[in-house]
A and B are shown apart, each in its own frame.
Chain A
Amino acid sequence: MAAIENTSAAKPAATRPNWLVRDLVGLAVILAVAAIGYFLFPNNLALLTRILGVALLVLSIDLVTGFCGVATLGHAALFGAGAYASGIAAVHFGITDPLLMVVVGAIGGALAGIVSGAVILRGHGLAQLVLSIAVVHLFHEAANKASAYTGGSDGLSGISPDPIFGMFAFDLWGRTAYGFAVALVAIAFVVLRLITRSPFGMLCRGIKEDPIRIRAMGASVQGTLLKMYVISGAVAGVGGALNAISTQVVGLDSLSFTLSAEALVMLVLGGTGSLYGALIGTVSFMWFEDFVSAANPFHWLTIVGALLIAVVLFAPRGLYGSAQTLLDRFRGDGK
């Protein structure tokens, strides 16, 4: 990825349309894969929808970890905040329009992003990691305590979203939910693509490479990172809202350390620092997990563990990163 950015920065005029074409192709590929998924696995749409929900979380981790270099094991806090925000809006305030619920979720996630960003960005390295774990535990405990609103460990149930645009009801086969999820992920992908390409996105990358230099340039490191954290929170919040809408229940697990860690694993599996990597990581991890857990419900975790070790040992840059390295090497030989 970095290599591409460097060359394009050198000759911006020639490569700009190239970017556009690349992004459009990327979007087309995502939509095509989504359509193939729909037709190949018409009976598995619930799983596919869940994958897309988690994909939004993984994308949002990628924004702060892959693009800004912030280490976090507490990102589920933002995801859960979005899920609970839209769930509470539906159950306690009668906001059952799915689009509005997504907006509420995004706002909830963004607010959680401000709060947790303000805390987490104080530290660096290990301290940062520890802070992020503390944050997700605090969110978890807060949701557990506020059981009047969140249902505590019983989960927040009774969310019944209206049909989208009053036309498409959420059905048993999950067709509506899946279409809705694909639309959300596609929109998020386009928006994030624009953001990561923007000067702001470049600044974030710069901070990841060398924060001292960026500070010397006169840019605010903390401010930029916090902004990215808020954007990331909004994306995770949309994922949470999507989860709340399609599942109609929000549980404490959506705020858990386990989910944070698992999402980070998916990101590492796919490859950090690229939106495609995040998507590929999520899809391959969750699909594999579903496959082996159905094949052997009693010992499947062992197999998942073995896969992760294999990936980290043999493809340390993740599936997408390693594929790209291979491709670049191949191209280099061709020239």
Chain B
Amino acid sequence: MKKSVLAALAVLALSSAAFADTIKVGVVGPFSGPFAIQGKNFKAGIDAYMALNGSKVGDNDIEIVYRDLPAADPAQSKALAQELVVKEGVQYLAGFYFTPDAMAVTPLLEQANVPLVVMNAATSAIVTKSPLVVRTSFTTWQTSAPMAKVAKERGVKKVITVVSDYGPGIDSENAFKTTFTAEGGEVVDSVRMPLSTNDFSPIMQRVKDSGADAVFAFLPSGPTTLGFVKAYNENGLAKAGVQFLAPGDLTQESDLPALGQAAEGLLTTFHYAVSHDSAENKKFVEAAHKAIGNPAELSFPSVGAYDGMHVIYKMIEATGGKQDAQKAVDAVKGLAWESPRGPVSIDPETRHMTQNIYLREVAKAADGTYYNKEIATFEKQGDPGLAAAK
């Protein structure tokens, strides 16, 4: 008995010596519940990056510690982050699908001496909450504003906006309205629907009555979008020539099989399509498909996670594995690289991603599946949302 205890202690001591250079990265995301698929994408992106670039930076082993946060819950988010920092000793925090969860963590960072790499949460203001936040995803402003330019170019004069009544929806509405009005277009009406709306026929009637040439929509991805797009087709708006414009959240790849033919021809603007044609993306998609299991489930959060890991690796390189949050963040300011989504860089001022935004059309592939086909590029887009907030 005594011997075995001693042996166990020795093993413990040895292993802790051997793992002295293990750098832990805490990842918080929705890994269960209705948004589990997005968390799965986080994990696929991270796994893909580590499969392609190894799980070591210099002499340091990288270990990922996952924590589940099924829905937006800032109190739980902060408790998890605190636990990751204090108990698990993570040197980096990453992930975060929902804005309030990321917001809740920002007050901790300075004292914890830990940088936060936001892999999804898309409200502009998060980066202003702490100088230790870097974001590798997108903002709703960033992906919505270019759509206004598209509308203008395509000769659309009157637009009605229809959004779900919650943070990202309102962001999206404001982004489109501001840009479209600046371009000289007219927003004839703005409808905000409760998040739980299921029957969209009355709304489609309002769209018809408004006499708009196009409808700009934002809904959370998933079943509601499906209902909305169906209603758009069934109420004859597509036939009447009212164009459907939206940011790419609505036609994320994991929803396309369910949307099917109803989605064909929808125009969206977004920062990433799985179909993006580049060598970088081919490598990424192949590795991510392997990681996620079911290729149809791969969509945009994976690329945010993939690039987030790239930033974290660069941070570890720059600090030599020592915990120094400010130095780590300073090291990636202005960092530019070729991401699966195209050329990207971290804006040194906002610590947010500057990236291409693509105009895409849902198209049918040769094998009968649907995909987002990129048809135009808006190069090097910053985040207009921060400027608007000021």
A residues in contact (CB < 8 Å) with B: 43-47, 49-50, 53, 141, 144-145, 147, 152-155, 157-158, 160, 171-174, 243, 246-254, 258, 293-294, 297-301
In the complex, what residues of A have CB within 8 A of residue B112's CB? 172
Tell me whether A171 and B111 are in contact (CB under 8 A).
yes
Q: Which of B36, B75, B125, B194 counts the most chain A CB atoms within 10 A?
A: B75
CA distance in complex: A299, B167 (Å): 29
CA distance in complex: A237, B112 (Å): 30
Tell me whether B68 and A154 are in contact (CB under 8 A).
no
Tell me whether B32 and A153 are in contact (CB under 8 A).
no
Tell me whether B78 and A46 are in contact (CB under 8 A).
yes
Tell me whether A44 and B75 are in contact (CB under 8 A).
no
Tell me whether B68 and A50 are in contact (CB under 8 A).
no
Tell me whether A173 and B104 are in contact (CB under 8 A).
no
In the complex, what residues of A have CB within 8 A of residue B68's CB? 293, 297-298, 300
B103 at the interface (CB under 8 A from A): yes
In the complex, what residues of A have CB within 8 A of residue B32's CB? 297-301
CA distance in complex: A297, B78 (Å): 17
Would you call the interface of chain A mostly helix, strand, loop, or mixed? helix
B283 to chain A, nearest CB (A): 26
Closest to B107 in A: A248
The range of chain B's interface size is: 35 or more
Q: Given contacts A44-B87, A152-B167, A293-B67, could you give 16 more A-B pairs where the C-beta distance is less than 8 Å?
A: A46-B78, A46-B83, A47-B79, A50-B75, A50-B79, A144-B166, A145-B165, A154-B103, A172-B82, A172-B108, A174-B82, A247-B78, A251-B104, A252-B100, A253-B71, A298-B32
Q: Which of A45, A47, A160, A249 counts the most chain B CB atoms within 10 A?
A: A249
Closest to B112 in A: A172
From A53, A145, A153, contact of B100 by CB (8 A):
A153
In the complex, what residues of A have CB within 8 A of residue B87's CB? 43-44
In the complex, what residues of B have CB within 8 A of residue A252's CB? 72, 100
B97 at the interface (CB under 8 A from A): no
Q: Which of B36, B106, B129, B167 counts the most chain A CB atoms within 10 A?
A: B167
A170 to chain B, nearest CB (A): 9
Tell me whether A155 and B104 are in contact (CB under 8 A).
yes
Closest to B171 in A: A154
Tell me whether A258 and B71 are in contact (CB under 8 A).
yes
B31 at the interface (CB under 8 A from A): yes
CA distance in complex: A157, B36 (Å): 26
From A147, A158, A160, A298, contact of B170 by CB (8 A):
A147
In the complex, what residues of B have CB within 8 A of residue A250's CB? 74
In the complex, what residues of A have CB within 8 A of residue B71's CB? 253, 258
> Which residues 68-124 of B have a CB within 8 angstroms of A?
68, 70-76, 78-79, 82-83, 85-87, 99-100, 103-104, 106-108, 111-112, 123
In the complex, what residues of A have CB within 8 A of residue B168's CB? 153
From A53, A153, A158, A172, contact of B72 by CB (8 A):
A153
Tell me whether A243 and B108 are in contact (CB under 8 A).
no
Tell me whether A50 and B86 are in contact (CB under 8 A).
no
From A46, A253, A297, contact of B73 by CB (8 A):
A253
B residues in contact (CB < 8 Å) with A: 31-33, 36, 66-68, 70-76, 78-79, 82-83, 85-87, 99-100, 103-104, 106-108, 111-112, 123, 125, 129, 165-168, 170, 194
CA distance in complex: A171, B110 (Å): 11
CA distance in complex: A239, B143 (Å): 39
A26 to chain B, nearest CB (A): 27
In the complex, what residues of A have CB within 8 A of residue B75's CB? 50, 53, 243, 246-247, 249, 251, 253-254
Tell me whether B111 and A157 are in contact (CB under 8 A).
no
CA distance in complex: A20, B100 (Å): 45
Tell me whether B111 and A172 are in contact (CB under 8 A).
yes
Q: Which of B36, B74, B112, B125 counts the most chain A CB atoms within 10 A?
A: B74
In the complex, what residues of A have CB within 8 A of residue B107's CB? 160, 248
In the complex, what residues of B have CB within 8 A of residue A43's CB? 83, 86-87
B111 to chain A, nearest CB (A): 4
Tell me whether A301 and B33 are in contact (CB under 8 A).
yes
Q: Which of A152, A174, A297 counts the most chain B CB atoms within 10 A?
A: A297
A244 to chain B, nearest CB (A): 9
In the complex, what residues of A have CB within 8 A of residue B100's CB? 153-155, 157, 249, 251-253
CA distance in complex: A45, B82 (Å): 9
In the complex, what residues of B have CB within 8 A of residue A294's CB? 67
In the complex, what residues of A have CB within 8 A of residue B85's CB? 172
CA distance in complex: A253, B73 (Å): 6
CA distance in complex: A160, B107 (Å): 9
Tell me whether A157 and B103 are in contact (CB under 8 A).
yes
CA distance in complex: A234, B372 (Å): 52
In the complex, what residues of A have CB within 8 A of residue B106's CB? 157
In the complex, what residues of B have CB within 8 A of residue A53's CB? 75
CA distance in complex: A42, B295 (Å): 43
In the complex, what residues of A have CB within 8 A of residue B31's CB? 297-298
Closest to A293 in B: B68
In the complex, what residues of B have CB within 8 A of residue A253's CB? 71-75, 100
CA distance in complex: A43, B168 (Å): 35
A309 to chain B, nearest CB (A): 18
Q: Which 3 pairs between the two chains have the least Cβ-Cβ distance?
A: A155-B100, A43-B87, A297-B68
Closest to A252 in B: B72
CA distance in complex: A50, B168 (Å): 27
Closest to A54 in B: B75
Closest to B166 in A: A153
Given A50-B76, A251-B74: A152 and B104 within 8 A (CB)?
no
A176 to chain B, nearest CB (A): 12
CA distance in complex: A28, B175 (Å): 57
